[in-house]
Amino acid sequence: MDKIAPNVYVESAYRGSTVGAIMTPTGVICVDTPMLPAEARHWRTQIAHLSRLPIRHVIYTDGHRDRVLGQQWLGGIVVGHELTWEKMRGYGDTLRQQVVDFLSHHGAVEAAEEISHQLQLALPQITLSHGSRLVLQAAKPRVVVRPVGGANPGSLWVELPEQGVVFTGDLVTLSTHPFMSEADTVTWLDRLAELRDPNYPMTKIVPGRGGSYRRAGSQKVSAYLTDMRDRVRALIRQYRGKIDATELMPEYLDRFPIPSGENERVQRRISTGLERVAEEIRAEKKKRKR
């Protein structure tokens, strides 16, 4: 666990997403949750060592399963985008089985067994829409929740202006390839440029996956997205609108770490990203013709 600012703690060693805890005078605010039940309980114990106050809020930076599964072991009022609420409302037994299958396949048999019997998903109880902003904690440390889009329609940033900290969710990933199935890459690149703007007050950038907190970390994702857009656009021009994702996929395999045993899964993720970018490029082309 890293203390990256007064009252702000980050843990990047759990399976899945990086999580955070913000100590306030009225309780603890958690940013995302560990995916595995044992790790969620461990995180709760770690937080209890830091503060005797209860967990007051849990913020979902998006609705990805490994950010929301651990809430039932943390408690607290859940904050998320209204689109995350919509997405999670449809999870049901399908998600449960997907998670159980994934964990069983990757050696987390005990976690799979526990989730198969005890999963209780908590939907956001406080929701935000695009263009809104929530000051969740007005006194120091001030905590501002802001919809940003980009990686996911329900993506949120959690900003602590006085501490100079921002939790970016999946807009910045350092330990795995970006998740792009619902991406708006133009907005995503704009938000990443904002992070690196010298006038942006947050200088400690907490990625959604990984444990480095420097502004420069966002450049790796920017380069990935920009290159992918350029390559896909060139192929669309060459082949008059059609592309074969498998032709480009090998170019992106070594851009980010691939966890052991997940090579096939990452290849599918890259292919999905390429197809998503192709959809965007075609839509942009049609819009220019109007």
Tell whether pTM > 0.85: yes
The larger pLDDT score, comparing residue 29 to residue 120, is at 29
Across residues 214-226, what is the average pLDDT?
92
Instruction: From 103, 125, 126, select the one nearest 116 (Cα to Cα).
Output: 103
* Alpha helix segments (H runs only) across 92-207: 92-105, 109-118, 185-196
Residue 15 in contact with residue 209, Cβ under 8 Å?
Answer: no
| Beta-ladder partners of 81 | 128
Query: Residue 120 and residue 141: Cα distance in Å, rounded?
Result: 31
Could you report the per-residue pLDDT of 134-163, keeping only the tens digit for each?
Answer: 998 777 889 999 999 999 999 999 999 999
For the chain, give the mean pLDDT: 90
Residue 125 is given by DSSP the state S
Give me 220's structure tokens: 């790796």
Give me 227's structure tokens: 């290159």
The larger pLDDT score, comparing residue 17 to residue 97, is at 17
Could you report the per-residue pLDDT of 47-74, keeping only the tens digit for each?
Answer: 999 999 999 999 999 999 889 988 989 9
pLDDT, residue 106, reads 65
Q: Could you tell me how far CA 260 lies from the centroid of its own chain?
A: 21
Q: Could you tell me how far CA 60 lies from the centroid of its own chain?
A: 8
Query: Residue 265 and residue 65: Cα distance in Å, rounded?
Result: 16
Task: Say if strands 55-59 and 27-31 run parallel, antiparallel, or are unpaired.
Answer: parallel
Domains of the chain, CATH where assigned = 2-212 (3.60.15.10), 222-289 (no CATH)
How far is residue 145 from each of residues 142, 181, 205, measured CA to CA in Å?
Answer: 10, 23, 15
For residue 250, is the peptide bond before it cis, meaning its omega torsion is within 30 degrees of 0?
no
- When mean pLDDT is compared over 47-56, 99-108, 207-216, 252-261, the highest value belongs to 47-56
